[in-house]
Structure formats: structure tokens, C-alpha cells
Structure 1
């Protein structure tokens, strides 16, 4: 099941702002980096992050929670649940 349009909007916002984000994946893994873009990788829609280890792509469907935090403008910090599963 794809993420909702509203959830997708939040992903687009963090990319436009190049926000620092922290992701909680359905697997329990946590990933952090700077949101760069939404890309297609092997037919999957992915959030591209810049991390200290380099650029990574995270399938949007694997993201449970997206948290924009530690950004200079406090209004740019928020938490959104992308999917319940």
C-alpha cells in the first residue's frame, strides 16, 4: 500500500528544505541524514539521504516515522508517522 498524499507532502517538504531527518523503519532500524530528494530506484520511490557514510536511498514504504529535528528554524522540526504497519 502506498503512503498517503499527506505523508508524501511531508517527505517533499523535508527535501525542499534540505532538513536533518531521523527515520524509524518498520524493521526497527534507525537512519539519520539530510533529506536531499525523492528518487526512483528499481521501481521503488525512495528518499535520498546524505549521511556521514555517503548518500543512501530509503524506500518510502519502509519508513514508519519521519522526524525532522535539529534544524535551525524551529517550525521546520516535526514528527510524522508515514504508515501504521
Structure 2
């Protein structure tokens, strides 16, 4: 079995995304080597990795357990070991 990737994740509710309404934000993983751009790595259903802007994240609401549980299971299936961050303050986004 492959080694799991440890990540801290803030799940945010994203009503502008039809269907996939929750995004997993990897709060400690910059999208690129240029950390000054303020973008973080994120994940949506079906293996869709993307970048999100810190300001955009701060404008979303934190998803409930019921809203993010399916995406959390998917992250485990694809090889992530997830520590769920429950608030923007804890995430320090």
C-alpha cells in the first residue's frame, strides 16, 4: 500500500459549483512555489485538484460534517491522511 499524504483540510461550502458543493482546501499546501501569490491547493470530487485564492476561501462558509463527509471518504480512498480543520481561525487562511 502506498504511503498516505498527511494534510490539514478546511472543507468549505461552495454554492457556485453546481453539483460538487464542497471543496477541500489544503491549508498548508501552496499551489505553486511562488507562495506570494496567495493560492492554496484544493480538491473537489473526482480527483479534481485546483488552486484557490485565500481571499476566496475566506468568503466561503465552513461546510458541515454532513456536507463534506463524502468528499472526506474520497480523500482517504485516493491516499490522503486528513486532519480536518474546523474553522478559518484554526486554518490561519
- Calculate the TM-score normalised by the size of structure 1: 0.42
Q: Rg bigger for which structure? A: 2
Higher helix share: 2
- Calculate the TM-score normalised by the size of structure 2: 0.39
